[in-house]
Structure 1
Amino acid sequence: MTTIAFDADDTLWHNERFFKLTQERFAELLAPHMDGNALMARLLEAERRNIGHYGFGIKGFVLSMIETALEVTDNKVPGSVIAELIAAGQDMLQHPVDLLPHAVDALRAAQAVGPVLLITKGDLLDQERKVAQSGLGEMFSDVQIVSAKIQATYTRIFDAYDGAARGMMIGNSLASDVRPMLEAGGWGVHVPHDLLWDMEHADTPDTHPRFLEIADLGELPDLLSKHR
């Protein structure tokens, strides 16, 4: 193994909790029109429809909330509610980056192996902001902000180094970080996070010989020492 890549959101720093807080406020604002569980289901449907149009990230999330609000109120949602949803999105885009425990030590351990990459999806400007504010930017040999994390993505990125077969991807999402990397022939390391977007759920590839799981990034140095 010569090249190690990390996911960003909810792997190196917190992200999903800000979406959850905004969803709770969204449910409060639309409570007169629809039950919270049903509303969240409608919002998820909108997000699925809109991924191809807006991609991943806060801006697409806000537009999906506005679309859902219009749908469930028959286009009668008050302008004040729309304004609050937009303000909530702006707050999310300005929120300080809060690193997860052991992130720096994990990156240092990876640097001892070889090139360290950051592979993340989402809104370009927002992801660039978070990388800059995290203070971690100089620890990466390469930062890739991609539209989708699929097998072809990992094959392309790792081919610029020693190939996916000699690479490892570390992240909190089985669907985006682990399974596509395994399909590309590399190692996939799952680092579970308490919060996970519904669209990131996937079956655990327990029987795959290159699948690994750690409780948190604090366990990564030992894992790397065993699989070099």
Structure 2
Amino acid sequence: MPTQHQIRMTKDGSPTLFHTHYNQTYHSVNGALSESQHVFIRTGLAEAARRKSQIVLFEVGFGTGLNALLAYSFAIANNLHIQYLCLEPFPVPHNQLLAFSRQLQLPADLQQVFLRLHAAKNIPVSLGDRFTFTCYEKSLQNYHDRPGTDIVFYDAFSPAVQPEMWTEQALQCVSDMMNDDALLVTYCAKGAVKRILRQLNFVVESLPGANGKREMIRATKKQHP
């Protein structure tokens, strides 16, 4: 039986999807939109934008596309140029995606952007002159480009259900595509993940998490001596 993605409403009034194979939601049940805004935009992208006005952003785990949509809105509002690259080996089926998008209740222009993001499979799509987007239907282990990334949104499912995404090997793959001083942000705050990142030459910050969660991780790749 194919994986089903059930819509679940979260405590801030925004929807997420429940993945029946992993038995886990894509975003926090305490607030999908507020989690994405806090972890990936305010703590991640906004910090990267203080340093550069042209950014290569790489997301591991495109999922619902909420992080990408928020990054697009941030780029437009802040005159930021973003090349957005992401991986999603198991895209949400189109009919389930349409049902999810209706629950988002987006304005017409953002609804069009949202659907174009999900339609962009393996080829670059320009959404205006400040945002270029490409989503590859590949796993991290099968992605071998080195795009010179300035910030990584690490949004795989949790280590409890997708442990292969949180190993030293997986995080080394991501590190190899990052510039010196590039950022990695993730909702995850596991001690084992912090230790691996430090072993891979990152400076790790434990920052307040979203929706009352105690911590999240922001890590900066150190320059090689």
Q: TM-score, normalised by structure 2?
A: 0.35
Larger RCO (alpha carbons 8 Å, 6+ apart): 1
- Structure holding more helix per residue: 1
Higher radius of gyration, 1 or 2: 1
Looking at secondary structure, tell me which structure has more strand per residue. 2
